[in-house]
Structure 1
Amino acid sequence: MRSPSRAAVLALAVATPALAAWDCSLSLGSAHLNLAQVDAVHSWETTVQTPPSVTKTRYALSLCSALPDPSSSAPEDDCPHGTRLCMRAFSSRLGLEDRLLSVVPVAGELDGGPAFEPSAKEKDGEKADQAWVLELGGGKYNGVEQRARIEMRCDPNAKETSPTVEDYDSKAGVLSLKWTTFAACPTNSDSRPPPSEGDNKPDDDGGGGSGGRDQDGARDPVGHSGGLGFFGWFLTLLVVAFVAYFAIGSYQNYTTYSATGWDMIPHRDVWRDLPYVVADLFKGRGGSRNGYSALG
């Protein structure tokens, strides 16, 4: 049998770790997802009361690279080389050392397991900028292929968080987790949540807030940019002039004629007769309140 050439062996060696070079980025429709922002080893523990003992399950997750190899003298007590999500269960009793119950390599580039192929999937009823599902596989335990379903929830303010355990189906080999983190938010601007009203920036015309655009985003030809506009300024000036007229006239009548009360109102007779003049105009008489009509 002809042995493979050196070039073929080298090509195989280069192709084998290709999946290990996953850069922690995924795409979901038009949304770009970058999990390299949480490139670290995340460890946490859950406990369940199982009298007379307590069952502790310890988890370790490293998305962008394999977990560190076990440093203990008993490597079988830890997940094998290439694991990215490891789950170990212990039985704990007061006064006794914890007893290892199981070691489950859930995901990673593992010998004898399925391919490690991370994928992003939509979560029913929610957009990518709200929540999505990360699926990891590659593990195998007790003859059952393992995989993890991580519900990734976007929260720009959630820093230094770890996943929480929702459920583990040992028969199906499915570990369900939930992770609220800023790294779950899409990194492309098209998929980010719309800014709030307080985040609106002035546009190129120097306007603020809406930038002189209507609700559909088109330029508003009338210029509704949050200002008063021509009619607003006209009415404002009219009110100011009206108030100034009464204030100045009343002051003049008070200082000049020592008028008080209703006598302070400037042109009092004109304002007193105005309702009757208007009423006569509407009646078509065109006369004064005394009943006299214009001649001619």
Structure 2
Amino acid sequence: MVDSLTFNICDNLTIQGEVAEIDRCPSDTRVCLTKINQKQEQEDRIVAVIPLGDGLNVNLTKLSSPTGLSITMHGQPYPSGSDNAKDQTFNLKLICDENASDPKFVSYDGSLAEVEWTNPAACGSEVGDGSDNDSGNDGDSEGDEEEESVGSGIGWFFLVILLAFIAYFVLGAYHNYTTYGATGMDLIPHRDFWQEVPYMMSDVVSHLCSSARPRRSSNRGGYIAV
């Protein structure tokens, strides 16, 4: 009896069209164990097809000794519909090593299949301790805090200006009312000045426009009297 284990931790296994449907795992399987009966001078016969895991139930655990990553996938109970069915589990231990090797099938006890695989990709968690990212995040945080501080300072400045204007008009109106008995438009403090403001602004705008408008030079011929 030969056990053949096929797995893909990133996607579902590719369906092999030349294999009968009864002799292959379901389409949503990522780990499939096939038990093959081999006899001399006879064609191989598939005895059992066991889906050990799918992409729906995946657990990741960081390994410390040896350094690496443990990936656990869970599958449906097998045999399906049997009172003696056992939950199927697949465990892949990615072990940190500079030299990559082929996956090594360790064991299968009827419920749990274990595979070990040494690969440099498992050392990714050791490359840097995240200090660079943390410092980058700290820099972003400091920048956000500085921007927020500047923005809040400008907001407070305009708020103070607005409150000062409100206080100016309220106190001025109160003064005109209590001192001169003014009513209506006469309550506005320095009313003559505020009436002239639109005209002054119009003069300023006209002056700016005339200054920005390019001057045309005259190239007409003529003479100078001497």
TM-score normalized by structure 2?
A: 0.50
Which structure has the larger Rg over C-alpha atoms? 2
Higher helix share: 2
